[in-house]
Amino acid sequence: MKNGLTIFAGIFAIVAASWAGLLLTAHRQYGGLAQYVDALDGNAYPLPLSGLADQGRLVYEDLGCATCHTQQVRRADFGADLDRKWGERQSYARDYIREKTVHLGDSRLGPDLRNVAARGYVDGTFLYKLLYAPHSVAPGTNMPAYPFLFDVRRVNPGQASPLALPFTGRFAPPAGSEVVPTRRAVALAAYLLSLKDTYDYPVERAKNTPPAPEKKGEH
């Protein structure tokens, strides 16, 4: 290897081959994945995000939630994702085309969030409580509190905020004050509440379910 050009051309070819072989091929394969129109209800799935939820996605990025949370449910024979009720089914690539940016995550210091809104106990109030004082709904967690997503302010008599958190006991604000989620908290909650892949695509199900074993000796 006396010639610098050999190394130059070789490295260039390697990077180009890996780009074309992995990224370009994958892009050609499913970069144009489209919504699936259900013939029965006429909806195109996945349903698009609301504007508020899309703003919440930006808050999710800004606060780095993906540092500790994944957003992918692996298939039945790959870990206990389904046993943990993190989803009714595995995640499909098609689920994600509704989001402008996708954060699959690579750490599960916290639970998976891909279907967080499908869990019975999760609603706006639960999420606000979790964000403001994690221990109020999840004792023993090491999730940090996000007090800066909330305003603690004095209640004007007769004009309490409808969004004020219903805290009692040790998490309650001082008497005469209320804890109200800021606009960012509302957006983030809207985004989290949009995470619900409950629609089961017939096309995907057919592709991802192993065929039933062939029956023998019957007619």
Positions 78 through 97 that interact with another protein (CB under 8 A): 78-80, 83-85, 90-97
DSSP 8-state secondary structure symbol assigned to residue 101: S
Q: Which one of residues 70, 115, 136, 194 is an interface residue with another protein (CB under 8 A)?
A: 70
Nearest distance in Å: CB 30, another protein: 7
Tokens of 144: 């940090």
Q: Which one of residues 55, 56, 72, 116 is an interface residue with another protein (CB under 8 A)?
A: 72
Nearest distance in Å: CB 175, another protein: 22
Q: Which one of residues 35, 36, 76, 111 is an interface residue with another protein (CB under 8 A)?
A: 111
The rounded Cα 118 to chain-centroid distance in angstroms is 11
Q: Which one of residues 44, 47, 75, 202 is an interface residue with another protein (CB under 8 A)?
A: 75
Residue 179's DSSP bridge partners are 152
Does 103 engage in binding with another protein (CB under 8 A)? Answer: yes
Cα separation, 185 vs 173, in Å, equals 18
Contact 173, 152 (CB under 8 A): yes
Tokens of 117: 């809104």
Does 145 engage in binding with another protein (CB under 8 A)? Answer: yes
Nearer to another protein, 142 or 156 (CB): 142
Tokens of 52: 């508020």
Nearer to another protein, 18 or 160 (CB): 18
Q: 37 Cβ partners below 8 Å, 6+ apart?
A: 43, 44, 45
